[in-house]
């Protein structure tokens, strides 16, 4: 029960009748500066704070009177989530303080029964595979077409979804990542029509598209395309703190109560009010200033893209580079720059070391910069000048040639065991010469973007090993291998001990 206090000079007074519309952040600030003494968590008591973090610690509270409970929201958090739902056009929206990862785990756990079958785009984030593993699901994969010229995954073709029902009529859910890390957008409307005709829900990991609804310059959000669950990482492309996300749900194909329960399982029972305050403040900023903010941003972004498109040696990925039947749009906030086959890491390092520009990621063929409405003119000018200068320096004959062969093709390892079984079996570290043909006991991926090249239970092929060594030669850091020395051959992979599986 929420009680009204009567001595604001010595405590903190809340009249819920007239205070409901106030923002969470404002109330946290007021509470932090009040004289209310905290005989409750957290242990810093808003009194012992690291230098420079006093204001942040003042707002760091637990579920005290007047601040609601995320897992049973009835007051200010309920209203904050309803505000976000209205802003995005969702039927229901829930705050996530465990990032999109927690939301993806909850969503898949909510719509699939243990041991059920799920249809997944093979270029999904590792959290999707963890949900498959945790729930003991049987996974069927749709492999996206890959651009041979630019080595990026294209969108998922809706007709490929239809074909899967011939083989697997027991599919319980579909999971698609759109946009991809590179900004490629799939035909979510077509995918939803195919799924809904069979009563199957569609989960869209739109973590990188939280900004889509706020400007016509960007692609249409999966929310407007009919997806049942859409997940946004607020912190990725909007002005919010790291680890903040939103889970939106619409339609009648998702058991809402089960979804809420799963959100309580995959999120802390003591969610950070600082993170929730950051989400709420971001939502109000978008509501009040979003139009002007995004008008300035898209004008600057379009100017930058126009200038970079004129480069002769460094190529900026555009919609025209993609197959329009598979990739219906491209998020132009992503600056994906190709300097030649096998030169992505070199471009990334030059920008960081020589120009002080820290990009989001390096891939074998490209470097990727993420922009947002918080970028200013100075930042765009620095990026523009750096790329134009490097473009003048590069020569065509400098392009690497050893990465050309099948560099864009995604290996398709044979599934021998379900992931949940493989990770529980006895395992050993195996050198590459002996690993071919063995069953993987761990994940192998680049992070970012966190898309598994190899999933536990899959047979390790020569093609997969070739890709791993190509990544190493390109200077990329690979998660899931054990490096035992500086030589290219001195690595091991986790494999299931032979004879331990049927």
Which has the closest alpha carbon to 88: 225, 218, 227, 210? 210
Centre a 10 Å sphere on the Cβ of residue 5 and count the other Cβ atoms it contains.
15
Centre a 10 Å sphere on the Cβ of residue 455 and count the other Cβ atoms it contains.
24
State residue 151's pLDDT score: 85
Residue 397 confidence class, pLDDT cut points 50, 70, 90: very low
State residue 487's pLDDT score: 53
CA dist 30 → 33, 52, 73, 320 (Å): 5, 19, 21, 51
- For 24-75, the pLDDT digits (tens) are 988 888 888 888 888 777 787 888 778 888 889 889 999 999 999 999 999 9
Three-state SS at 153: strand
Instruction: Please give the Cα distance from 190 to 176 (Å, whole number).
Output: 12
Res. 1: pLDDT tops 50: no
Res. 359: pLDDT tops 80: yes
Say which residue, 30 or 83, is predicted with more confidence: 83
The secondary structure of residue 440, as a DSSP letter, is B
Residues 6 or more apart in contact with residue 158 via CB below 8 angstroms: 187, 190, 191, 193, 194
Exposure string of 106-120, with b = 16+ CB inside 10 Å and e = fewer, is bbbbbbbeeeebbbb
457 touches 417 (CB < 8 A): yes
**Complete domains list, the chain, with CATH:** 1-62 (no CATH), 70-284 (3.40.640.10), 291-398 (3.90.1150.150), 419-496 (3.90.100.10)
Instruction: Please give the Cα distance from 103 to 204 (Å, whole number).
Output: 11
Query: What would the two tokens of residue 22 be?
Result: 């106030």
Instruction: Please give the Cα distance from 262 to 257 (Å, whole number).
Output: 9
Residue 17 Cα to chain centre, angstroms = 38
Exposure string of 189-198, with b = 16+ CB inside 10 Å and e = fewer, is bbbbbbbbee
- For 294-346, the pLDDT digits (tens) are 999 999 999 999 999 999 999 999 999 999 989 999 999 999 999 888 889 99
Instruction: Please give the Cα distance from 461 to 496 (Å, whole number).
Output: 14
- For 165-204, the pLDDT digits (tens) are 999 999 999 999 999 999 999 999 999 999 999 999 999 9
- For 97-135, the pLDDT digits (tens) are 999 999 999 999 999 999 999 999 999 999 999 999 999
Which has the closest alpha carbon to 181: 141, 235, 236? 236
- For 194-235, the pLDDT digits (tens) are 999 999 999 999 999 999 999 999 999 999 999 999 999 999
Instruction: Please give the Cα distance from 31 to 435 (Å, whole number).
Output: 59
Instruction: Please give the Cα distance from 8 to 331 (Å, whole number).
Output: 49
Exposure string of 279-298, with b = 16+ CB inside 10 Å and e = fewer, is bbbbbbebeeebeebbeebb
């Amino acid at each position: 029960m929420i009680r009204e206090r009567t001595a604001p000079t010595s405590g903190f007074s809340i009249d819920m009748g007239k205070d409901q519309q106030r923002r969470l952040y404002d109330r946290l600030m007021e509470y932090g500066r009040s004289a209310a003494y905290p005989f409750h968590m957290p242990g810093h008591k808003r009194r012992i704070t690291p230098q420079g973090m006093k204001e942040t610690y003042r707002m760091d509270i637990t579920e005290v009177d007047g601040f609601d409970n995320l897992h049973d929201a009835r007051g200010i958090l309920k209203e904050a989530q309803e505000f976000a739902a209205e802003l995005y056009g969702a039927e229901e929206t829930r705050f996530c303080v465990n990032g999109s990862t927690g939301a993806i785990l909850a969503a898949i756990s909510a719509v699939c029964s243990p041991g059920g079958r799920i249809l997944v785009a093979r270029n999904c984030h590792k959290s999707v595979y963890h949900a498959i593993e945790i729930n003991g699901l049987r996974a069927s994969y749709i492999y996206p077409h890959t651009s041979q010229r630019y080595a990026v995954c294209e969108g998922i073709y809706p007709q490929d979804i239809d074909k899967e029902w011939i083989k697997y009529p027991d599919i319980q859910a579909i999971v698609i990542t759109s946009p991809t890390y590179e900004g490629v957008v799939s035909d979510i409307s077509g995918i939803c029509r195919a799924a809904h005709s069979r009563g199957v829900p569609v989960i869209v990991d739109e973590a990188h598209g939280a900004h889509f609804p706020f400007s016509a310059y960007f692609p249409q959000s999966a929310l407007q395309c009919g997806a049942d669950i859409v997940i946004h990482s607020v912190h990725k492309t909007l002005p919010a703190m790291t680890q903040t996300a939103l889970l939106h749900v619409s339609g009648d194909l998702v058991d809402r109560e089960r979804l809420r329960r799963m959100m309580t399982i995959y999120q802390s029972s003591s969610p950070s009010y600082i993170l929730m305050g950051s989400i709420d403040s971001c939502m109000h900023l978008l509501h009040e200033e979003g139009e002007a903010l995004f008008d300035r941003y898209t004008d600057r972004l379009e100017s930058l893209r126009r200038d970079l498109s004129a480069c002769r040696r460094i190529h900026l990925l555009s919609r025209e580079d993609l197959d329009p039947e598979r990739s219906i749009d491209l998020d132009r906030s992503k600056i994906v720059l190709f300097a030649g086959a096998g030169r992505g890491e070199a471009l990334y390092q030059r920008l960081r070391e020589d120009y002080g520009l820290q990009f989001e990621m390096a891939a074998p063929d490209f470097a990727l910069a993420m922009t947002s409405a918080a970028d200013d003119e100075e930042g765009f000018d620095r990026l523009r000048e750096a790329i134009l200068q490097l473009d003048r320096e590069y020569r065509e004959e400098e392009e690497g040639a050893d990465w050309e062969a099948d560099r864009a093709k995604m290996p398709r390892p044979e599934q021998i065991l379900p992931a949940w079984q493989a990770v529980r079996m006895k395992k050993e570290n195996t050198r590459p010469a002996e690993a071919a043909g063995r069953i993987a006991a761990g994940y192998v991926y680049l992070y970012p973007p966190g898309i598994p090249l190899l999933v536990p239970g899959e047979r390790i092929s020569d093609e997969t090993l070739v890709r791993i060594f190509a990544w190493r030669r390109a200077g990329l850091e690979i998660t899931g291998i054990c490096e035992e020395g500086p030589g290219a051959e001195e690595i091991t992979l986790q494999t299931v001990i032979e004879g331990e599986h049927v």
